[in-house]
Amino acid sequence: MTITATPPRASVAPTRSQLTTGHLPTWAVWALVAGSLAVMLAVFGIIALGSGEGLNVAGWLVTSGIVYLVLIFTISAIVESRRKAVDRFITGLVASAFIVAMVPLVSVAWTVVSNGIARFDADFFSSSMRNVVGEGGGALHAIVGTVLITGMAALISIPIGLMAAIYLVEYGEGKRIGRGITFLVDVMTGIPSIVAGLFAYALFSLFLGPGARMGFMGSVALSVLMIPVVVRSTEEMLRLVPNELREASYALGVPKWLTIVKVVLPTSIAGITTGIMLSISRVIGETAPLLITAGFTNSMNYDLFDGRMQTLPVFTYTEYMNQGIPPEAYIDRAWAGALTLILIVMVLNLVARLVARVFSPKTGR
């Protein structure tokens, strides 16, 4: 039997064109964006001139985005590769979705600022609406009421939410009562705010009689909305703490309760604080439950347990719905109240970010 050796196959060095493909320069993407906008602007401009109507800005932007996606996919597939073309197409689609999501946010912010700046003066923050008819007046009573009611709601909700979350993660894991509490928290997260207001009103009506209105009732209604948010956010943050930290503490003989206080909570304090601030921001703009429980008034009231109390959401609603003469004064006060509420929420979110940065474990604090 004769065995013949097969000669080795000659290795062919790959050429440069086989290793690399074409690549679009960075400026080409922006050139396509500008070109799509310019071409569709010309098209919509001609249509507007022919119809005698104004430029359809929304249609211009949407069609420009579609034209850009088609162009970037086609050109990238020709110059680069189909895989890169798909990547550029998905990137453009995601960027377009982000822009679309930002449009209502920017629009709302611009509308509130442009309309509310007219009454954003010292008088607005230093006076109430007592004995004010027509122009003048301010929202000091509503600002004070918002701070007091929301602060009391936070004092009620934060301890309950924190302890409930600690029980679910550290003690009730896998137990039937823990699963039941988790289910109830999930259900409470989605209840309408008006239901919370009706619950607080019915609860206090049993003791004070029907028709009672006071700030503390509003705090209880808001706490019903806050507690599920605090529980869920705190629960998720506690679950992110590595079990190795708990086990190391137990190995040193530290009791479980002290491990939670000294190890688990400090490790997750940044996320917990962010969740608490977000829950406050979620309830501070509620109107329906406060209309039922706290009512509305034009006078200052610093007592949560006596008399009606005004809040910024209710102030904005009543000023816009009960317009007098001149109506512009009432509308300006409503927009100014909305702007003040947005600024308060923005400050709360900035405080949450600051606390998260300061107390984050990465900083060593």
How many CB atoms within 10 Å of residue 348? 17
Residues 279 and 223: their CA atoms lie apart, in Å, by 10
pLDDT digits (tens, 9 = 90+) for 88-128: 899 888 988 898 888 888 888 888 888 888 888 888 888 88
Q: How many helices (H) and strands (E) does the chain have?
A: 15, 0
Residues 193 and 197: their CA atoms lie apart, in Å, by 7
Asked if 342 and 112 touch (Cβ cutoff 8 Å), the reply is yes
Is pLDDT of 139 > 90? Answer: no
pLDDT digits (tens, 9 = 90+) for 12-46: 444 444 444 578 888 888 888 888 888 888 888 88
Residues 264 and 255: their CA atoms lie apart, in Å, by 12
Which positions ≥6 away from 119 have C-beta within 8 Å?
A: 332, 333, 335, 336
pLDDT attached to residue 279: 87
Quick one: DSSP state of residue 5?
P
